[in-house]
Structure 1
Amino acid sequence: MSQSKSDRGSETRELILVTAERLFAEHGVEAVSNRQVSEAAGQSNNFAVGYHFGSKEELVVAIVRRHSESVERRRTEMLAEIAGSPDLRDWMSCLVRPATEHLASLGIPSWYARFIAQVTTHPALRERVRKESFTSRSMQQAHEGMFRLIPRLPEDVRQERNDMGRMLVVHMCAERERALHEGTAPPHSTWESTTDSLVDALVGLWLAPVTARR
């Protein structure tokens, strides 16, 4: 039975998403044109990206959304399991583990962690991607639980540490993914051990004393 036009369109969209994620992860968003994505995805129409997604920004957002459902589901399940927990590590795990478990599920090689590291430092895309990836309801709930267990901090310090924590998770996951791809990860290093190390670091970050500021 021949494929319907809708089925072919869905397959083409998926192929473009997977190809763009890899190219953006390897080379950065600015270095890769929509035409290059279309060609690498085996599309004879060089305007396939524009036809299916409109713009490069919408393509980037579509890649994020392709992964976010799995991460959201995992975090929502974790939140239900730890409701009311007095252990700060539980809440930090809710910020980290859903993402690292999703990355582990992608197998080797995967590209998403390096893709996120690229787009969250892109001047024109970083805010859009931050809103897509880091402001979901489950993420807000995890932060609310966390903030109940840490000392009250000045708002500017809290924002600064929030940014530090986000960058730590994003870029350490990207480094872990790269090491797995290149075969340079330590023999006993796993996504689980990476998660534990990130949680340790985040607990220390949020409980660190604040130097008096003028």
Structure 2
Amino acid sequence: MTRTTSRDARAAATQEAILTTAEQLFAEHGIANVSNRQISEAAGQGNNAAVGYHFGTKTDLVRAIAQKHAEAITAIRERMLAEMDESADLRDWVACLVEPVAEHLDDLGDQTWYARFTAQLSTDPALRLLVDRQTADDDSIRAVIAGIERHLPAMPPEVWRARATMMRYLLTQMNAERERAIADGAPIDRERRATTVALVDAITGMLQAPVTAV
């Protein structure tokens, strides 16, 4: 191994340690409550400026964490879309939003922080906008939303926007609650399938609910 290759390997390992540590601290304590210095120390970095050196600002670090998971989730969603046929109904399209996240969490193992990190992210308007922009650029997400819209009854645009927000929060908060329960050792079924099916059912029903005139 050359000196340059060895240095690059060390840098990659340091970056991964920082990403994992930051994700855990953000998930457990909130993004605003954790400093780059705390992350560097918890990641075992002698240089307290390690986060800034490797990632830049806290916003850049948050973006890197979100992007790391988004790539894996998008790959799962693209696979699901490729397997869908013309008989797909509304529930199938909703499943393309719910199941990729659940499958990714399963792939990460029993000890995860991503769902709680995402929930913390959703409470920060500026950082949430950052992730919303990443989502808007995802072709697979656009395809799923278009599929959902094709199967919905006619409704005013403001009602659809409100229900899309409800859908996002249900997906975010239910995964975070389940992840938190596992972390706390709560006596729950560790199989995600039941939770995933219930979430798909709930979102599908919510989207199809009658619209009451105001």
TM-score by length of 2: 0.95
Indicate the residue corresponding to 1:170 in structure 2: 172
Alpha-carbon distance between aligned partners in 2 of 1:161 and 1:120, rounded to the nearest angstrom = 16
Indicate the residue corresponding to 2:35 in structure 1: 33
Is the CA contact (8 Å cut-off) linking 1:120 and 1:130 kept in structure 2? no
Alpha-carbon distance between aligned partners in 1 of 2:125 and 2:66, rounded to the nearest angstrom = 17
State, as a whole percentage, how many aligned pairs show the same letter: 50
Indicate the residue corresponding to 1:64 in structure 2: 66
Alpha-carbon distance between aligned partners in 1 of 2:35 and 2:18, rounded to the nearest angstrom = 12
Q: Cα 1:173–1:203, aligned 2, differ >3 Å: closer, same or farther?
A: same
Alpha-carbon distance between aligned partners in 2 of 1:141 and 1:190, rounded to the nearest angstrom = 28
Which residue, out of 85, 90, 93, partners 2:92? 90
Is the CA contact (8 Å cut-off) linking 1:176 and 1:185 kept in structure 2? no
1:86, CA displacement in angstroms? Answer: 3.7
Indicate the residue corresponding to 2:14 in structure 1: 12
Aligned-pair Cα RMSD in Å: 1.4
Q: Identify which range, 132-141 or 40-49, moves more after superposition.
A: 132-141
Aligned residues: 212
Alpha-carbon distance between aligned partners in 2 of 1:51 and 1:129, rounded to the nearest angstrom = 23
Indicate the residue corresponding to 1:210 in structure 2: 211
Indicate the residue corresponding to 1:194 in structure 2: 195
Structure 1: tracts of 5 or more residues without a match? none
Alpha-carbon distance between aligned partners in 1 of 2:186 and 2:54, rounded to the nearest angstrom = 37
1:84, CA displacement in angstroms? Answer: 2.4
Indicate the residue corresponding to 1:113 in structure 2: 115
Structure 2: tracts of 5 or more residues without a match? none
Indicate the residue corresponding to 1:76 in structure 2: 78
Alpha-carbon distance between aligned partners in 2 of 1:196 and 1:162, rounded to the nearest angstrom = 19
Q: Cα 1:146–1:123, aligned 2, differ >3 Å: closer, same or farther?
A: closer
